[in-house]
Structure 1
């Protein structure tokens, strides 16, 4: 699958309507973003079952603000609407492939149980 440009209009729908969604927050003027883009695109072609989204922080400042993006590129990984990974910095191919493998391997029932426990402890 190719990467898909996400906007404020379709961001939530994309997260809610797909199992695994990776999101690259980027900008055209950002050198590390441009260096990371071919790696991201290459892995999107190798994982057609995963949605690879891109948010242009210049065109979508409200999304960048909502996710408190302070540095780009920032990669986020969602699975079953749960944010599992959010880190700034361009990744080498192997690191991105490892993140994808880890997200795919997670037991989401266990993740949801842990989230519920944390939320209960806060109350």
Structure 2
């Protein structure tokens, strides 16, 4: 599977469709982004069950701002619509494989329970 370009119109529906979605935020002028691109593309071919999205931060400045991108490349991982990983910087192939393995191994019932607990523990506005 090749990477899917994501836009402000397709981002939300893509990450909430379920399963694992990786998103690479990049720009054409970014050297580390260009170094990471072939690593990301190779992983997309190897892991057919994962959606590999990419966001050109120059073309999608509003989307990049909305998700808080301050450095590129940034890799985000979503599982079942929940952000479970976000890290700036170009990863080597082994690092990307570690992220994929970790996301696959997550106990999503536990993740949802922890999120719910954080919501309950959050102070309410006065």
TM-score (normalizing by structure 2): 0.96
Root mean square deviation, CA, Å: 0.7
Paired position in structure 2 for 1:18: 18
Paired position in structure 2 for 1:3: 3
> SS where residue 22 of structure 1 aligns?
strand
Query: Any unmatched runs of 5+ in structure 2?
Result: none
Paired position in structure 2 for 1:82: 82
Paired position in structure 2 for 1:49: 49
> Which portions of structure 1, spanning 4 or more consecutive aligned residues, are displaced by more than 4 angstroms?
none
CA–CA distance in structure 2, aligned partners of residues 71 and 110 of structure 1: 30
Paired position in structure 1 for 2:92: 92
- 2:67 paired with 1:67: yes
Paired position in structure 2 for 1:102: 102
Contact 1:18 1:51 in 2 (8 A): no
Paired position in structure 2 for 1:33: 33
Paired residues, number? 123
CA–CA distance in structure 1, aligned partners of residues 66 and 107 of structure 2: 28
CA–CA distance in structure 2, aligned partners of residues 41 and 7 of structure 1: 18
1:16 is displaced (CA, Å) by 1.2
Deviations along 1:64-106, whole A, 9 cap, x unmatched? 1001111100000000010001110000100100000000011
